[in-house]
Structure 1
Amino acid sequence: MWKLMIADDEPRIRNGLRKTLPWSEMGIEVVAEAENGKEALETAALICPDLMFVDINMPFMNGLELIEKLQAQNPDCLVIVISGHDEFAYAQQAVRLNVFDYLLKPVQKTELSAAVNKALEVLMKDRVELKHTQWMNHKLEFNALTMREEFLSKWITGQLTKEQFEEEWPFFQLHFHGQTSLLLLKPLSKVSVSAPNKIWDPSLLEFAIKNILNEMLPQLPVSAVFSVGKGRIAALTQISKLTVLRAIYQDFERTVMNYLGVSLLLSHAVVEQFEQVPASYEQLHQELLRESVLTPIVMMTKKYLETYYYKEDLSLSEVAEQMNVNATYLSKLLKRDLGKSFVDCLTDIRIKKAIQHLNDPTSKIYEIAQKVGYQSQHYFSHTFKKMTGVSPLEYRKRGEY
């Protein structure tokens, strides 16, 4: 229904206009009345009428002043002046204000009907044009995003020459500079853990994961999320602070599990030069391939360790219970698939996490030890040196992180 508002200081006139035509049959609803210009302007701001009948001679603010202010407030509203003034100066000013029509009191029913029907034709045409414009803009935006995804996917997988990249890159206005993060991920299963009977359609699952990631990354300077091959999603992000980025990725992984019930296989790298991204992608891709051939229990065990590595008392029996398997059986699977014991797997993850924390010069060594599951700084330093060949302090001084 189109919204009509009547502004006139005479109740008799307002009542007559309300009853003159079968408004509902014409697809119009009389939504408001006003007895002065000031009230009319305030009411119009709240209800945004499509069509408005305005008298010129009203208290507090005359009709011409009202129309001028209304144009700035609601330029799409069509105004029909219904006035008792037959002076040329009023009509001339009304024309200047782009009034749709100017009718004289007492207005004839046929005259009012003709004016309103003409206004409805214009309103309908404008609405159709607006919808078409919105549709076109949506299509252009969608096609632009699709083209960008296709471009990034081809580039990262080495399907573009250097010349093709340099020629097309400026069109997508992705102004990366400095350190760039590359995240590569793949859903571990189409089956929801939180709802075992729910099986995700692969394309819908991919769409949902990309949406969640896109919602979390805009807080960073520049980012791009796109599909790469079957079931893989990549995210490029300009790094402002690595600790912030890692926190976002951890939050993203938790959100996917909580809302979609699906675990993710994640691989992440940082490149100093943007041109190094394709080479880094290939390394991450190979890493994902190696991970994806692991048995589901081993894969889920790794994910569990990567999530709860900070727990000091994390044990094989606890993890086995979470995986619903016998501890001895889980230990054998880890040794067979990874060539490592449970303790070695956990230590590897803790030391890798510690190296990430060493990137933050404000973190004390004892704080890092506690963050990665070691109550004793001495034991942490001993383990770190055994794994890397240097102590945490020496590692930080060398700048090898």
Structure 2
Amino acid sequence: MWKVLIADDEPKIRLGLKTVLEEMELSVTVCAEARNGIEALEKTRQCQPDFLLLDICMPRLSGIQFLEELRKINKDCPVIVISGFNEFAYAKQAMKLGVSEYLLKPIAEEELRIAVQRVIEEIKQKRKNEKYLELVKQQVIQNQEYLRNVFFNDWIEGKLPKAEWKEQAEFLEMHFSEPMVLILAAVQPGYDTKMDKGESADREDKTTFKKVLCELLESYSVIGSFSSKEEELMVVLKDIPEELDAFYKKIQVQTEEKARERCIVTVGNCVFETFPEVSREMRHKIQKMLECRPVVQDARKYIYANYQDRNLDLWQVSHAVGCNSSYMSRIMKKELGISFKDFLTKLRINQAVELMKNRELSINQIAEMVGYSNQHYFSAAFKNCQGMSPSEYRKNLPQADKIG
């Protein structure tokens, strides 16, 4: 049964409308009657009618005032307004407040029947739409990971204008802030540390890898994670960790240890406009590393973990990964396109550049932190890589930050 509330200050009209509605056999029941606008509002809250029959002129709270208050608590409830010939100005106001039907006194039964039938169909269609939208909402929730993957891949490829990006991000319930931290990780194809231990290899490595990485990042403000078309996993963080280098090392080592797979991880930061370029550079770096032999990857990770050791040399790295130094020298040059010495120097200077932003650190302290025991050697290496001395670089740092 459809519930209707009749609001009119004349008892005879209320009774007449109730009688006519019952005789129409439209599955309509009068759930409440009201003598004025205040009473109509109270009873609307109490019995939650499906629609209302409302006199436009009522005491205490006029029909227009009632409609204004009704729309604050129920913006969609259909209303059939009843009006006299001399109340056309009210009619125009009523139509602006979302009235479904407008009937003139005296009301013809057939006109009332048609108006009620239209309102019932309106309610049915609205509920059908709501049911459909709820179904769509459930489908979105169930397929949220897939939709986020599509969103991120379109973003990487530069297909999303900022307005559309914001709209899609809001729809997918992702709240971005700038700058953002990107973490890109991948598993070495065909390599599984479980095989080294004589255990059977299952095909859940990718799922395990994702689960491990996401668990490691639980304490950070994760905006979203997704898989790229190349099946790499990218995680976007809201806040940049204070010690980005230490953060990178932690993620790299712990992901591999917990997932028991050979993982490659790289970290970067960006804003909306630079996301496609930065993510592409990171993916290129990952792909380049995936093409390297496992021994080169292990050597690279060892260097990243120990570059602060001022005594680090090729023999130490080679010994750590289980090969001789001459072979390591050749294979690194071949696969990374750079010698061990140049690789280590470039890494140390890149880390020094990051540390330069902290003005509380002296240049001598920075030199020691990146593995140089002699500030003279550090300055020479820094100038060779950056084209200026450390002190000159720091002097120009505010301008460089502004430009960047």
Q: TM range, normalised to the smaller chain?
A: 0.5 to 0.7
**Residue in 1 that maps onto 2:212:** 212
Deviation at 1:373, TM superposition (A): 1.4
Asked if structure 1 preserves the Cα contact closer than 8 Å seen for 2:226 and 2:233, the reply is yes
Q: In terms of mean alpha carbon deviation, does 215-224 or 303-312 score higher? A: 215-224
Q: Is the 8 A contact 2:382 2:390 kept in 1?
A: yes
* Equivalence for 2:59: none
Q: Which runs of 5+ in 1 are unaligned?
A: 1-136
Change beyond 3 A, Cα 1:254–1:289: closer
Aligned partner of 2:354 in structure 1 is 356
Between the aligned partners of 1:138 and 1:321, the Cα distance in structure 2 is: 55
**What CA deviation, in whole Å up to 9, does each residue of 1:122-154 have, x standing for no partner?**
xxxxxxxxxxxxxxx999755334432332233
- Separation in structure 2 between the aligned mates of residue 357 and residue 142 of structure 1, nearest angstrom: 44
Q: One-letter code of the match for 2:325? A: A
Q: Is 186-195 or 372-381 further displaced after alignment?
A: 186-195
Kindly tell me: are residues 289 and 175 of structure 1, through their superposed partners in 2, closer, same or farther at Cα, counting changes over 3 Å?
A: same
Q: After TM superposition, list the pairs within 5 Å mapping 1:326-345 onto structure 2.
A: 326-345=324-343
Is 1:347 the equivalent of 2:366?
no
Amino acid in the other structure paired with 2:267: H
Q: Which has the larger radius of gyration?
A: 2
Q: 1:179 to 1:206 in 2, by over 3 A?
A: same
Tell me the amino acid that sits aligned with residue 259 of structure 2: L
Which residue in 1 is equivalent to 2:310? 312
* Distance in 1, Cα, partners of 2:240 & 2:176: 11
Q: CA distance change for structure 1 residues 198 and 164 in 2, over 3 Å: closer, same or farther?
A: farther
- What CA deviation, in whole Å up to 9, does each residue of 1:279-302 have, x standing for no partner? 221222222223332333223221
Q: Secondary structure at the match of 2:237?
A: strand
In structure 2, runs of 5+ residues without a counterpart are: 1-136
Superposed, which structure 2 residues align to 1:97-116 within 5 Å? none
Q: CA deviation at 1:305?
A: 0.9
CA separation of 1:146 and 1:339: change in aligned 2, threshold 3 A: closer
Q: Residues 322 and 280 of structure 1: is their aligned pair in 2 closer, same or farther, counting only changes over 3 Å?
A: same
Distance 1:147 1:258, change over 3 A: same
Q: Show CA shifts across 1:172-192 (max 9, x none).
A: 232222211222221224534
Deviations 1:79-117 (A, max 9, x none): xxxxxxxxxxxxxxxxxxxxxxxxxxxxxxxxxxxxxxx
Once the two structures are TM-superposed, the CA of residue 238 in structure 1 deviates from its matched residue by 2.3
The aligned residue for residue 168 of structure 1 is 168
Show the counterpart of 1:223: 223
- 1:292 partnered with 2:290: yes
Q: How far apart are residue 374 of structure 1 and its match?
A: 1.4
Which residue of the partner structure matches residue 237 of structure 2?
237
- Identify if the C-alpha distance between structure 1 residues 176 and 199 changes in structure 2 by more than 3 Å, giving closer, same or farther: farther
The one-letter code of the counterpart of 2:260 is G
Partner of 2:57: none
1:366 corresponds to: 364
SS at match of 2:217: helix
Post-superposition offset of 1:309: 0.9
| 1:20-39 matched pairs, under 5 angstroms | none
Residue type at the aligned position of 2:188: L
Using a 3 Å threshold, how does the CA distance of structure 1 residues 212 and 358 change in structure 2: closer, same or farther? farther
Q: Are the equivalent residues in 2 in contact too, given 1:182–1:235 (CA < 8 A)?
A: yes
In the alignment, residue 181 of structure 1 is paired with which amino acid? V
Aligned-pair distance for 1:164? Answer: 4.7
1:235-261 CA distance string (max 9 Å, x none): 112234442x44333222221222223
AA matched with 2:366: I
Instruction: Give 3-state SS (helix, strand or coil) of 2:312's partner.
Output: coil
Structure 1 position 234, deviation (Å)? 0.7
Q: Is the 8 A contact 1:291 1:299 kept in 2?
A: yes
Query: Per the alignment, do residues 356 and 194 of structure 1 end up closer, same or farther by CA in structure 2, a change over 3 Å counting?
Result: farther
1:323 corresponds, among 313, 316, 321, to: 321
Change beyond 3 A, Cα 1:257–1:287: closer
Equivalence for 2:251: 252
Q: Superposed, which structure 2 residues align to 1:175-194 within 5 Å?
A: 175-193=175-193
Q: Is the 8 A contact 1:177 1:274 kept in 2?
A: no
> How many angstroms apart in 2 are the aligned matches of 1:300 and 1:221?
30
Mapped to 1, the partners of 2:150 and 2:201 lie a distance apart of 24
* Residue 224 of structure 1: how far off its partner (Å): 1.6
Matching residue's letter, 1:386 = N
Do the aligned partners of residues 206 and 246 (structure 1) sit closer, same or farther apart at CA in structure 2, a change above 3 Å counting? farther
The equivalent residue for 1:270 is 269
Change (3 A) 1:237 1:214: same
Which of 375, 381, 394 in structure 1 is aligned with 2:392? Answer: 394
Deviation digits for residues 301-353 of structure 1 (CA, Å, limit 9, x no counterpart): 21221111111211211211222222111111122233432211211111122
Which residue number in structure 1 is paired with residue 151 of structure 2?
Answer: 151
* 8 A Cα contact 1:369 1:376, kept in partner: yes
Aligned CA distance change for structure 1 residues 393 and 188 (closer, same or farther; 3 Å) = farther
Do the aligned residues in 2 keep the contact of 1:216 with 1:248 (CA within 8 Å)?
no
- Aligned-residue CA RMSD in angstroms? 2.9
